[in-house]
Homo-oligomer: A and B are copies of this chain.
Amino acid sequence: DLIRKYFGEKIGLYFAWLGLYTEFLIPSSVVGTIVFLYGCITMESDIPSKEMCDQRNAFTMCPLCDKFCDYWNLSSACATARASHLFDNPATVFFSIFMALWATMFLEQWKRLQMRLSYFWDLTGLEEEEEHPRPEYETKLLQKKLKNKNITTESSDEVRCCLLFSFMWDLCFAKLIHVLICLQIMLAFSAVFGIIVYRITTAAALSFSTNETTRSNVRVTVTATAVIINLVVVLILDEIYGAVAKWLTEIEIPKTEKTFEERLILKAFLLKFVNSYASIFYVAFFKGRFVGRPGHYVYVFEGYRMEECAPGGCLMELCIQLSIIMLGKQLIQNNLFEIGIPKLKKLFRKLKDEKTEVKEMDTNQSKHPQQWDLDYILEPFTGLTPEYMEMIIQFGFVTLFVASFPLAPVFALLNNIIEVRLDAKKFVTELRRPDTVREKDIGIWYNILSGIGKLSVIINAFVIAVTSDFIPRLMYQYAYSQNGTMHGFINHTLSYFNVSQLKAGTQPENSLFAQEVAFCRFKDYREPPWSPHQYEFSKQYWAVLSARLAFVILFQNLVMFLSVLVDWMIADIPKDISEQIKKEKTALVDFFLKEEHEKLKLIESFIAHDKRKRRSGTKSRRTRAASFSQCHRSPKGSFTSFSSQHTVV
């Protein structure tokens, strides 16, 4: 409330929203940690990773790159497998369902809180009054008018062509903007693609290197560097996109402030969303799907193999990617930038002012600086959009890929606890006091939030079904394994490949375990070499695939149904508030009634008194009657009952 008193409703609502969001993060982060701990505990007892790690059943895997890579033993990837179990266990499935419902619940609660606030802050009846067009828009109109006037002075056919031209120009303009946005999005994708290329090439390059140590931990180095580069790119692009969106909206010259803001937000959100999530989507759904098979790999520009996922499954990499980008963005962008940049600007501004000060010194020697002089040094307030934006993007991190990274809420929570303080500090000390704006709700942000909520259901379904090994495990346990346990799962997921069929020049040189390798294994469901149609997808592949898709359908519809249920059970308007409103209305009606009585009395006595006044009195009475019919017609039904009584009176 204090915030609202000082800054006005708009910022008040922002902080209210932020507060509720942070509160809601607490339970989810608790559950998240529990899920994570469950993973840690069950890690020891997880049979697949045990099987991977134990040296006895040594699976000789096919080389990861042509020529220079040797066959390798699966047990060497033990660590990653164990780690991946942390995030790839049944609990995550439960957790992602939980989070989907959590999102719905959050939105519902926000609706309620909003109602409550807007009631206590007298916003219930606030309708946007006629908005004043922005000056830019008016100037443009003016120019148009002038041009037309000029034209009209000229000859008619010129007029026609000119008008036509300007009309065409406007059309092209609208198109142009969309094209530009598409280009921007392309840019984001290309950045991701660039990073992929980097990964592939460096991986290859490093694998050439004779140095043993470098070769041994190619994957680690590549991943680490790639992610960091990715992060940097994301941060830079983020800034660029912010500017671009602003620029685009400005040249669009929308009519009112509101439309301006909304368009800006939509553009900025679209761009930043793509920017932040493109790489993650790639890792989640596309990486390692187009590898091909040994002896028939997919090659991109002359002879670089597509990259595969780590033996532990792509989920691990997804998790790393997610965590680093999320944390990086939060730490660097939200906190460093948000505080650092204003401070710097302030400093800069001060310095500049001091220079000017010196000159003016003689003029205003005596009187010490006023508050507004001091405040002038501060940054001007540039709207809440960035604040909301970062929160929404974070909300995306928390909900969209939560299946692969249950700790996301925890980090989000930590970040927000700092965030609230920082924002508050910033608003109070770093920025000039913004002019208060009355706002009924958080506007378009709500739609974006609910959109993300819906999207998250589908994405989580796919992450669990496609990216994680959850479904194959289930399938194995209940369909293929003899004794209903997970023993032999690893063996079941690996297909055989006949080494002799490796293309010439792709066999590993100077292999350490040279001759005795007849068959190497690779992670896929394909027919073995000795089957009639070798290396085709095996029946298991199709069975698992259909199981996966079935899971997606089940999950999606179940969760959607549940969230509809939640939505339906939680009333949008809190009971007490709605009753309050009703009471007030009745009170209002009674009041009008009483007042009318008095007026009538008044007027009658008055009429009795003398002629001239009577006339005006009747007039006023008539007008009053009319006014109440007006009231009756106006959208406040509570008057209806009253006016009927009034007629009786």
Contacts and interface: CB of A to CB of B under 8 A. Distances in A.
Contacts of A545: 542, 546
Contact of A636 (B125, B556, B606): B125
Given A124-B635, A635-B636, 6 more contacts: A126-B637, A129-B641, A537-B539, A553-B556, A591-B623, A606-B613
Interface in A617-631: 617, 619-620, 623-624, 626-627, 630-631
B553 A627 contact: no
Interface in A397-441: none
Contact of A620 (B542, B591, B602, B617): B602
A598 interface: yes
Copy tally for this chain in the complex stands at 2
A552 interface: yes
A584 B125 contact: no
A634 B585 contact: yes
Given A458-B557, A549-B549, A595 B624 contact: yes
B542 A630 contact: no
Nearest to A550: B549
A178 interface: no
Contact of A599 (B125, B127, B557, B620): B620
A584 B634 contact: yes
A236 interface: no
Nearest to A533: B539
Contacts of A147: none
Interface string A528-557: 000000000111001101100110110011
A315 to B, nearest CB: 20
Of A602, A632, A641, most buried by chain B (CB within 10 Å of CB) is: A602
Given A591-B626, A623-B598, A637 B542 contact: no
Interface residues of A, number: 59
A41 interface: no
17 contacts: A125-B639, A130-B582, A546-B546, A584-B634, A591-B623, A594-B623, A598-B620, A598-B623, A599-B620, A602-B613, A602-B616, A605-B616, A606-B606, A606-B613, A609-B609, A609-B613, A635-B636
Nearest to A599: B620
Given A539-B542, A546-B546, A127 B637 contact: yes
What DSSP secondary structure best describes chain A's contact surface? helix
A640 interface: yes
Contacts of A538: 539
A362 interface: no
A592 interface: yes
A633 interface: yes
Contacts of A458: 557
Interface in A502-543: 537-539, 542-543
Interface in A73-87: none
A595 B627 contact: yes
A289 to B, nearest CB: 15
Nearest to A594: B623
A641 B591 CA distance: 21
Contact of A542 (B543, B592, B619): B543
A588 B634 contact: yes
B598 A619 contact: yes
Contacts of A630: 587-588, 591
